[in-house]
């Protein structure tokens, strides 16, 4: 699958560091991107700022529900604590779509210590909440936001893609490639707990080695 085949991509919470960085890279790759926010004005403002930096790019911004309604693929990029409420607010627009969740469960004071989500993982909780009409895929949990802001800089990190349907994982793999990274099929949605846990591991490694650049690479693949 080519990124151009994806249609319009909505980034729910695309006003934040991670979502806006991905939106920037996807728009730069030629995708149509809609930034979603809890407030229409904020979504429109962030989209205008990105558009000003990327002449010719197709970026607009609005509230989360309108963004999801306009989209073929919906990307969830909000804090874990707000996931349930945000999913509830966009549920009417999700049926039949792939929902790519970036959410990592960073619970408690110490973000470098992994605490599993009560439902197994944020991704599995999302799938249970949105139901079978929506296909949830987890991806990008291990990509630091600051790497995404310079859209031309190479990112030394693979993207683990977990989901129960290969066709849906293909969507996230294409999004990873459009953002300048290698997407790796990493098995069932149940495995998303591992990717979410790795986020805490990378935060710890960054703190111990006094860097911001720790990432992951999968070796031994014929690609």
Ligand X SMILES: NC(=O)c1ccc[n+]([C@@H]2O[C@H](COP(=O)([O-])OP(=O)(O)OC[C@H]3O[C@@H](n4cnc5c(N)ncnc54)[C@H](OP(=O)(O)O)[C@@H]3O)[C@@H](O)[C@H]2O)c1
Residue numbers of the site for ligand X (CB under 6 A)? Answer: 13, 15-19, 37-38, 42, 77-82, 86, 102-104, 106, 141, 143-145, 199
Determine which helix (DSSP H) or strand (DSSP E) holds 62, and give its type and residue range: strand 58-63
- With respect to ligand X, which residue has the nearer C-beta, 173 or 198? 198
In angstroms, give the least distance from the CB of 55 to ligand X.
24
- With respect to ligand X, which residue has the nearer C-beta, 113 or 166? 113
In angstroms, give the least distance from the CB of 14 to ligand X.
8
Sign of CA dihedral 186, 203, 122, 157: negative
In angstroms, give the least distance from the CB of 196 to ligand X.
8
CB 209 within 8 A of CB 150: no
CB 14 within 8 A of CB 77: yes
Question: The tokens 């293909």 sit on which residue?
Answer: 170
In angstroms, give the least distance from the CB of 183 to ligand X.
15
In angstroms, give the least distance from the CB of 193 to ligand X.
14
- With respect to ligand X, which residue has the nearer C-beta, 132 or 210? 210
- With respect to ligand X, which residue has the nearer C-beta, 5 or 156? 156
From 54, 125, 122, 64, select the one nearest 94 (Cα to Cα): 64
From 93, 41, 91, 97, select the one nearest 67 (Cα to Cα): 93
How far apart (Å, rounded) are the C-alpha atoms in residues 111 and 25? 26
CB 90 within 8 A of CB 129: no
- With respect to ligand X, which residue has the nearer C-beta, 96 or 197? 197
């Amino acid at each position: 699958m080519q990124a151009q085949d994806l249609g319009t991509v909505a980034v729910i919470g695309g006003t934040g560091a991670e979502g806006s960085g991905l939106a920037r890279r996807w728009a730069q790759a030629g995708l149509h991107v809609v930034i979603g926010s809890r407030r229409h004005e904020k979504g429109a403002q962030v989209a205008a700022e990105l558009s000003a930096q990327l002449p010719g790019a197709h970026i607009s911004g609005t509230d989360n529900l309108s963004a999801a309604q306009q989209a073929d693929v919906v990307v969830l990029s909000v804090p874990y604590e707000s996931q349930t409420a945000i999913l509830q607010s966009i549920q009417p627009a999700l049926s039949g779509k792939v929902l790519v969740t970036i959410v990592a469960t960073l619970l408690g004071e110490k973000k470098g210590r992994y605490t599993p989500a009560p439902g197994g993982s944020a991704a599995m909780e999302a799938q249970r909440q949105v139901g079978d009409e929506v296909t949830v895929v987890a991806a990008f949990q291990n990509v630091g936001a600051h790497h995404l802001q310079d859209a031309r800089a190479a990112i030394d990190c693979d993207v683990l893609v977990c989901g129960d349907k290969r066709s849906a994982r293909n969507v996230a793999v294409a999004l990873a490639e459009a953002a300048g990274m290698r997407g790796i099929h990493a098995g069932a949605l149940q495995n998303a707990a591992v990717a979410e846990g790795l986020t805490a591991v990378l935060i710890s490694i960054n703190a111990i080695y006094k860097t911001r650049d720790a990432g992951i690479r999968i070796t031994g693949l014929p690609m």
